[in-house]
Amino acid sequence: MPYRKEQFETGYIYHITLKGLDSSIFKDLNDYYRGIFSIYEFNNSGSVTIQKRRETRTRFKEGRGRTSTFIDERDKLVEVLCFCFMPNHIHLLVRQLKDNGITEFMRKIGTGYGGYFNRKYNRQGHVFQNRFNAVHIENEEQLKIVFAYIYTNPLSLIYPEWKEIRIENLDKAAKFLENYKWSSYLDCIGIKNFPSVTEREFIVELIGGEQKCKDFIKYWIEYKGESKEYSNLFLE
C-alpha cells in the first residue's frame, strides 16, 4: 500500500501523485469510475457500509454526484481541491483536515482500489508504488501553477511532447481538456461532472471564476516554458 514517513501539517495544502507499479492502473471505463468513487468513499475517517457503497457507486455512474436528497455524512480526512486521473497515475491537490489525514487517505485508496483491481484482473501484489510523492504548496502563486499543471496533464495523451514543443492549435488543446472526463476540471469551469468529489470553490474564486479558469489553462498551454522555476512542484 502507498505510504510516506514524513508528517503532513493539518490545514496545509499538498500536491500528491500516486503512480502505478505497472503500465496502467485504469484499463476500462469502470476502472476510472471506481477510482473516482474511491477518492470519495475513502475520504472518511469512519467505515462505509456495503449498502452505502452501492448507493454511492450507482449515483456516480449515473452522473448524479450530488442530489437534493443526498446528505454527505462523511467525517473527511482531507479536502480534495483537484484531481486528475491518467492511465498510469493520479494527481491530487488536497488540504489535510485531520492529523495523519493524508497518510490514512492514501492508505485507504491504495488498499481499497488495489484490492478491487487485483480481484478484477486476477492478479496479486501491489498495484501502486509503495511510496506516494507529495510537495507542500506554500502560497497562492504556487497553488495556481499546480492547478494548471494538474489539469493540463491529459494533453500528453494527444500531444506526447507538448511540454517541449509549441502546440499550434490552442483551441483544439483546450477543447480536449474540456471533454476529458477523468478530472475535476469540468466542475471548475461550470460543467457538472463529479461535483461532490471536490471542494473547488476556493481555487475557482482565487483564479477569478469559471471563465478565468479556462483562460488560465489556455495561457498555461501556450506559455508553460515560463514555469521552469516551479518544476519542483510538479512531481514528475
Task: Sketch the domain layout of the chain as residue ranges.
Answer: 13-137, 140-233
Q: pLDDT tens per residue, the chain (236 residues)?
A: 555 556 899 999 999 999 998 779 999 999 999 999 999 999 999 876 545 666 666 666 666 555 444 567 789 999 999 999 999 999 999 999 999 999 999 999 999 999 999 999 999 889 998 789 999 999 999 999 999 999 999 999 999 888 778 788 889 999 999 999 999 999 999 999 999 999 999 999 999 999 999 999 999 998 875 566 666 677 66
pLDDT for residue 234: 73
pLDDT for residue 134: 96
pLDDT for residue 227: 63
**Contact (CB, 8 A) for 16 and 92:** yes
Cα–Cα distance measured from residue 222 to residue 167, given in angstroms and rounded to the nearest whole number:
7
pLDDT for residue 1: 52
Pairing of strands 89-96, 78-86: antiparallel
Q: Can you give the pTM of this predicted structure?
A: 0.88
pLDDT for residue 49: 55
78 phi and psi, to 5 degrees? -140, 165
Label each residue of the chain as H, E or C. Answer: CCECCCCCCCCCEEEEEEEECCCCCCCCHHHHHHHHHHHHHCCCCCCCCHHHHHHHHHHHHCCCCCCCCCCCCCCCCEEEEEEEEECCEEEEEEEECCCCHHHHHHHHHHHHHHHHHHHHCCCCCCCECCECEEEEECCHHHHHHHHHHHHHHHHHHCCCCCCCCCCCCHHHHHHHHHCCCCECHHHHCCCCCCCCCCCCHHHHHHHCCHHHHHHHHHHHHHHHHHHHHHHHHCCC
CA distances from 145 to 142, 187, 202 (A): 5, 18, 15
pLDDT for residue 51: 56
pLDDT for residue 222: 87
Closest CA to 108 of 197, 195, 18, 33: 18
**Contact (CB, 8 A) for 55 and 129:** no
133 phi and psi, to 5 degrees? -100, 145
CA distances from 52 to 4, 49, 223 (A): 30, 5, 45
In CATH terms, the fold of domain 13-137 is: Alpha-Beta Plaits (3.30.70)
Through-space distance between the first and last CA atoms of the chain, rounded to whole angstroms: 20
Cα–Cα distance measured from residue 59 to residue 79, given in angstroms and rounded to the nearest whole number:
21
